[in-house]
Amino acid sequence: MNETTEKLLVEVLERISSMLPESNRDIDWSAPAYRWVTRVCFGTQVGRLEPVASFASVDLDRLLHVEQQKEQIVSNTEQFVKGLPANNVLLTGARGTGKSSLIRGCLTRFYPEGLRLIEVSKEDLRDLADIVKAVAGRPEKFILFCDDLSFELGEGGYKALKAALDGSVASGGDNIVIYATSNRRHLMPEPVTDNDGARLDAEGELHPGELLEEKLSLAERFGLWLSFYPFTQDEYLAVVRGTLEALGTPAHLIEDENTRLEATQFAIQRGGRSGRVAVQFARSFAGRAALGASGR
């Protein structure tokens, strides 16, 4: 091999190397959160863990009106971090009521004890086995987080998640648990036609049809279910008040009846009351108040 050919070969190899994804062995495990990111390389889809550049921490004490749900998920997470038996968790219910924030709050609280979070999209759930392999043997504990999860029957991710919840990912003592949020209680659409296959047995007991049974079977594999409900008017306004106080809004503006009226109208325009809507209003109001105080 002459020198020119050798130089050309080195250049080709360097270009190929630059196109390949980095190895999961090169990950900075000190980051609190990661995303599973996939890319196509030479016709093959390859996934890897990438640290989240800026994790949005959440103070659990600031999450209001979800005390029962908070107590259960914090207890389950503490058990998991300490190497004790713990469950996979499904959080379902109304939008903006704190489901995702509770999970991020658990990470914020238990990160110093070795907890980490891996966010996985629905489309990438079929890579669960690869994710488990990537963290195998690590001393940290990992929450595999699936946000706003829902399926259509027969999707690939549905089957992979169902298998994982029945297999090694769900067994006690592993370093991964699955926490998922969804607006659908059973993670799948439930048209009235699902009841067509229901039947009564000889003793008069109702049994769901096969299609409905299949849909129920995925959610039932989560050991802990937490349900969330729309906020009442008083709960919504309490979150508005607490957020305004945290943002440094002057007390006389917080106590002003016009502020409460504006907050109520804001919720009506958004189609409902929730913690998310309360925070959105508070940020808008606090920003405008600060601009007014500065004379701009």
Q: Is residue 222 pLDDT above 60, yes or no?
A: yes
Higher pLDDT, 26 or 78: 78
pLDDT grade, residue 215 (50/70/90)? low
What's the predicted TM-score (pTM) here? Answer: 0.77
Mean pLDDT of 64-77: 94
Alpha-carbon span 36 to 119, nearest angstrom: 6
For residues 169 and 176, is the Cβ–Cβ distance under 8 A?
Answer: yes
pLDDT at 105: 96
For residues 103 and 91, is the Cβ–Cβ distance under 8 A?
Answer: yes
Alpha-carbon span 264 to 279, nearest angstrom: 13
Give the mean pLDDT of the chain. 81
pLDDT grade, residue 171 (50/70/90)? very low
Alpha-carbon span 266 to 281, nearest angstrom: 7
Tokens 């325009």 found at: 269
**Lowest model confidence (mean pLDDT) among 24-28, 218-222, 255-259:** 24-28
Q: Is residue 45 pLDDT above 70, yes or no?
A: no
Backbone phi, psi, residue 2, to 5°: -80, 170
Q: Is residue 187 pLDDT above 70, yes or no?
A: no
For residues 105 and 134, is the Cβ–Cβ distance under 8 A?
Answer: no
Higher pLDDT, 173 or 270: 270
Q: How do residues 85-104 score in pLDDT, each as one tens digit?
A: 999 999 998 888 899 999 99
Cα angle 107, 63, 94 (rounded to 5 degrees) comes to 95
pLDDT grade, residue 26 (50/70/90)? confident
pLDDT at 193: 47
Nearest to 218 by CA among 270, 153, 268, 172: 153
Which amino acid makes up residue 296? R
pLDDT grade, residue 27 (50/70/90)? confident
E strand intervals along the chain: 33-41, 44-51, 89-93, 115-119, 141-146, 176-182, 199-200, 206-207, 224-228
Which one-letter DSSP state was computed for residue 79?
Answer: H
Q: Phi-psi category of 3—alpha, beta or left, where left has phi over 0 and alpha has psi -120 to 50?
A: alpha
Give the whole-number percent of the chain exceeding pLDDT 90: 45
DSSP letters for 12-70:
HHHHHHHHSPPPGGG--TTSSEEEEEEEEETTEEEEEEEE-SS-----GGG--S-HHHH
